[in-house]
Amino acid sequence: MMASTTSATAAAAFGAAAAAKPLAPGCARVPAAGGRRRSGVVRCDAGVEAQAQTAAKAASIAALEQFKISADRYMKERSSIAVIGLSVHTAPVEMREKLAVAEELWPRAISELTSLNHIEEAAVLSTCNRMEIYVVALSWNRGIREVVDWMSKKSGIPASELREHLFMLRDSDATRHLFEVSAGLDSLVLGEGQILAQVKQVVRSGQNSGGLGKNIDRMFKDAITAGKRVRCETNISSGAVSVSSAAVELALMKLPKSEGLSARMLLIGAGKMGKLVIKHLIAKGCKKVVVVNRSVERVDAIREEMKDIEIVYRPLSEMYEAAAEADVVFTSTASETPLFTKEHAEALPSISDAMGGVRLFVDISVPRNVSACVSEVDCARVYNVDDLKEVVEANKEDRLRKAMEAQTIITQELKRFEAWRDSLETVPTIKKLRSYADRIRASELEKCLQKIGEDALTKKMRRAIEELSTGIVNKLLHGPLQHLRCDGSDSRTLDETLDNMHALNRMFSLDTEKAIVEQKIRAKVEKTQN
């Protein structure tokens, strides 16, 4: 198994291989005949180029040889599954919005992460409430450091400041966390359904881009199964609301009770979350909402679907005019810059005393659509996703009971995933042992057939001898292979199975562990050079 710490020498070898990538030194621009220059004509010294290629090859070999010297540090335990991230529970929205990764950029982020020296697989889960990176790390310490440095570089936040808000979980703790996230147990609003859809989208995005590795793909798919089971087998969703629903409840909570349903509602952005805002306004008895959106088609589609409310469309160019006529402004757009600043809020007309004299901005976007300085305006109040905590304080005892029921299901799904992952440990040894036995069988069979003579055997006799040799090998391998099973179907522990695997590796000189790690390092070196 592979250790969680790699040697500095192996890491240095990676750098040497990368630095040796041939850049065609010795190339020079060649002027055209008669002294006239032709741009783009390049002459390369073939000898120099060949030397550069030879040097690159030598560096690659050196990297692998250097790895072999220090590979024993990898053998003690396998690669680690890790999650590094921050959420509404650990970091303010100001930090989360700097780290947010738009869905269309997930494949690019995965590509950048897996190009890091000690990261084999990666996935990004970025929502308004969390930004989490799931990885399979060849080395725990170095892999975590590389991911944190990547997050720091992307966000512009110093790594030391990031670490104050990051959480890091490993192996079964990381897997359990993802299962809890998928089930809605880690959400601001217990059991909310949007997060399960977002976890599904990670898998869909990975499948379309080919970016998810075997372990991460299986973990996310099992997390989806866990999330579905929790919602189907417990009543965790009853009474629970989405972020959009919590936003509506918060707005009504802040309005005078007698005037809540008569308040003039404005929604900016008709995406998925905006659509849910309208849905929950209907559930609360609201009869009219003005929707500002870039295009009318999406608003028309919502209007067709939701007949119980009057939906008035206004184009984006009339956003501030619409805000001037609204008591409550919900914002839910993908804009990376604020739509409302202090100057915009000050320019809006005052609100009637019946509505409390204050215009409410409920911003459920990350990055935020409403600047925090808007709250400095006397007649305006701004609430963002962090403020939704006020809505979900009720029924704590009921939420805890539901969460306990859900944890039983999550534990079952976690055991299934870990049994599957444990089973992967012995697959290379099983393949090598079978291949080793088949080579011996084929060699000895050929010697036997040569001694008997081809002419002395009928096709039926030859087939019978071949089946006999195959049967003997299968019978002999049955016992050892049974002791390499670790899929949860028997009482054998992982440690026992791995002891058996190491014993077979030694007895038959299979050396599978080093071969696997060498293959991974070779892939990293080749990827760096390309």
H helices of 379-511, in order, are: 396-452, 459-482, 494-508
Point out which residues pair with 181 in neighbouring strands: none
User: Residue 265: which of 348, 351, 327, 353 has the closest Cα?
Assistant: 327
Burial class (CB in 10 A: 0-12, 13-18, 19+), 13: buried
b/e code 118-142 from CB counts within 10 Å (16+ = b):
bbbbbbbbbbbbbbbbbbbbbbbeb
CB under 8 Å, gap of 24 or more: what pairs does 153-157 form? 154/99, 154/101, 155/95, 155/98, 155/99, 156/98, 157/95, 157/98, 157/99
Candidates 27, 44, 128, 286; catalytic one: 128
H helices of 20-131, in order, are: 46-70, 93-99, 106-114
448 is catalytic: no
Question: What's the rounded Cα separation, in Å, for the pair 498 and 320?
Answer: 66
DSSP string over 186-201: SSSSTT-SHHHHHHHH
CA distances from 66 to 51, 189, 271, 424 (A): 22, 51, 53, 27
Kind of pairing, strands 167-170 and 119-126? unpaired
For residue 330, give the 3-state DSSP assignment.
strand
User: Residue 127: which of 273, 277, 278, 266 has the closest Cα?
Assistant: 273
DSSP string over 56-82: HHHHHHHHHHHHHHHGGGTTTS-PEEE
CA 286, chain centre distance (Å): 38
Kind of pairing, strands 119-126 and 130-137? antiparallel
Burial class (CB in 10 A: 0-12, 13-18, 19+), 407: middle
Point out which residues pair with 320 in neighbouring strands: none
Cβ of 254: how many Cβ atoms within 10 Å? 17
The answer to whether 218 touches 423, Cβ cutoff 8 Å, is: no
| Residues recognised as catalytic | 128
